[in-house]
Amino acid sequence: SELVVSFGEMLIDFVPTVAGVSLAEAPAFVKAPGGAPANVAIAVARLGGGAAFVGKLGDDEFGRMLAAILRDNGVDDGGVVFDAGARTALAFVTLRADGEREFMFYRNPSADMLLTHAELNVELIKRAAVFHYGSISLIAEPCRSAHLRAMEIAKEAGALLSYDPNLREALWPSREEARTKILSIWDQADIVKVSEVELEFLTGIDSVEDDVVMKLWRPTMKLLLVTLGDQGCKYYARDFRGAVPSYKVQQVDTTGAGDAFVGALLRRIVQDPSSLQDQKKLEEAIKFANACGAITTTKKGAIPSLPTEVEVLKLMESA
Ligand code: ATP
């Protein structure tokens, strides 16, 4: 199977209609569907791959809208359940003029936090070649237990586990709890991707030197990646390591670049799992992922800017 099953939250970001304002200053907001695990599933599907999403939405207009977005993009929504009582999660997000991102979350609790292990689509999870997840679903019960159970089911069925912590400090009770819980499942993952910010948060050291990154390496891992924005990324495998630069593009909005990168990388890995042991193949897969991330920064929003395989190959050939 080449199926990528992505687990976690799907929500609506409300983004100001004008750039560079605080949430308080924003005159109006537009809906931007998101949630990193959902973005990854759509990224895989947009590239022509098999993808499914597992998570909980509110049984409301927004929840049904999000499920329709999954289906319209070719993502299997057989793992989506609806909560009759809680609302679909909302987040108001802005990039202020000073470059700071401002978040305001409506999760009190939201439907995504209420997924139970009994609601897991076990048959779907068992079909995964790769099972992908973040850390937001680890924050609160009952979703936390559902997340841990889903990882077990996928692993037992032979899937590779892929982890992008996607740190959102504001959602955790404390920095310490975030660090502890994010690292509590570190040893289970085959593939881990962190950003520079997450590397510093988890190690306490503001550097992307190899000895710092290696603090996050485990002998159980097959691949550890550090994404570096327009600089591309660094990769660490058991027998080799290196860096792959990205492609030059006109950056407009970086939202979803990390998710596009992960989706593209996982797409290539399910197509040829031996890429994890072969440095040349792995570098090709990472180039593809860099190109996919780069293209995603050239348009506003995450989901609308995710490219097709043809678009990614075109950027790679023109470079
Ligand atoms: P986010 O959380 O904003 O989605 P991230 O911090 O997880 O992103 P980034 O490092 O911003 O991830 O981007 C992921 C990948 O996308 C990078 O490794 C790179 O390949 C590509 N990328 C991002 N920004 C640019 C850019 N301006 N130019 C070229 N490539 C880019």
Spans of the chain, pLDDT less than 50: none
pLDDT at 94: 94
Q: Exactly one of 13, 76, 253, 259 is catalytic; which is it?
A: 259
Q: Give, for ligand 1, the residue of 230, 233, 247, 286 to mutate: max count of ligand atoms closer than 8 Å to Cβ.
A: 230
ipTM computed for the complex: 0.95
pLDDT tens for residues 34-68?
999 999 999 999 999 999 999 999 999 999 999 99
Residues with CB under 6 A from ligand 1: 195, 227-230, 232-233, 246-247, 249, 251, 254-259, 261, 290, 293-294, 297
C-alpha–C-alpha distance, residues 101 and 257, integer Å: 15
**Smallest CA separation from ligand 1 atom 3, residue:** 255
pLDDT at 208: 98
pLDDT at 173: 96
Q: Give, for ligand 1, the residue of 95, 227, 234 to mutate: max count of ligand atoms closer than 8 Å to Cβ.
A: 227
pLDDT at 98: 87
**pTM for the complete prediction?**
0.97
pLDDT at 83: 98
Closest CA to 135 of 8, 2, 314: 8
* Nearest atom of ligand 1 to the alpha carbon of 289: 20
- Is-contact 66 33, C-beta < 8 A? yes
Q: Is 239 a catalytic residue?
A: no
